[in-house]
Amino acid sequence: MKKKKHPLIAGTLILTLTGLASRFIGFFYKIFLSRTIGAEGIGIYQMIFPIYGVCYAFTTAGAEIAISRFVSGEMARGKKEQARSILWIGLAMSLSLSLLTSFLVYKNAGFLAVHLLHEARCADLLRIMSVTVPFGACHSCISGYYYGLQKTAVPASAQLFEQLVRVAAVYIIYQISLEEGKALSPAAAVIGLVLGEFASMLFTLFAISSESLHGRTAKPTGFPARRYAKRMFLEAAPVSANRVCMNLLGSAEAILLPLTLQQYGLAPERALSVYGTLTGMAMAFIQFPSVLTNAVSVMLLSAVSESQAAGNKKQIARTIKKTINLCLPLGIACTLFFLLTGKTLGTFFFKNEMAGDFIITLAWICPFLYLNSTLHSILNGLGRTAAGFINNLIGVMIRIFFILTFVPRFGIQGYLWGILANQLFVSFLNINALKEERNPA
- Which of 114, 39, 112, 36 lies closest to 266 in space, CA to CA? 39
Q: Which domain holds residue 334?
A: 7-438
Residue at 382 is within a domain: yes
Residue at 355 is within a domain: yes
pLDDT digits (tens, 9 = 90+) for 385-405: 778 778 888 888 999 999 999
Yes or no: say if 417 and 406 are a contact pair by the CB < 8 Å rule: yes
Residue at 362 is within a domain: yes
Residue at 421 is within a domain: yes
The total number of structural domains in the chain stands at 1
Residue at 2 is within a domain: no
- Please give the pLDDT value at position 351: 81
- Please give the pLDDT value at position 340: 93
Residue at 1 is within a domain: no
Residue at 186 is within a domain: yes
Instruction: Give me the long-range contacts of 19-23 (CB less than 8 A, separation at least 24).
Output: 19/156, 19/159, 19/291, 19/292, 19/294, 19/295, 20/291, 21/160, 22/159, 22/160, 22/162, 22/163, 22/291, 23/288, 23/291
Yes or no: say if 398 and 425 are a contact pair by the CB < 8 Å rule: yes
User: Percentage of the chain surpassing pLDDT 90?
Assistant: 29
Yes or no: say if 379 and 434 are a contact pair by the CB < 8 Å rule: yes
Yes or no: say if 71 and 305 are a contact pair by the CB < 8 Å rule: no
Q: From the CB of residue 74, how many other CB atoms can be counted at a distance below 10 Å?
A: 22
- Please give the pLDDT value at position 414: 93
Positions of the chain with pLDDT lower than 70, given as ranges? 1-13, 15-16, 19, 76, 212-224, 295-302, 305, 309, 436-441
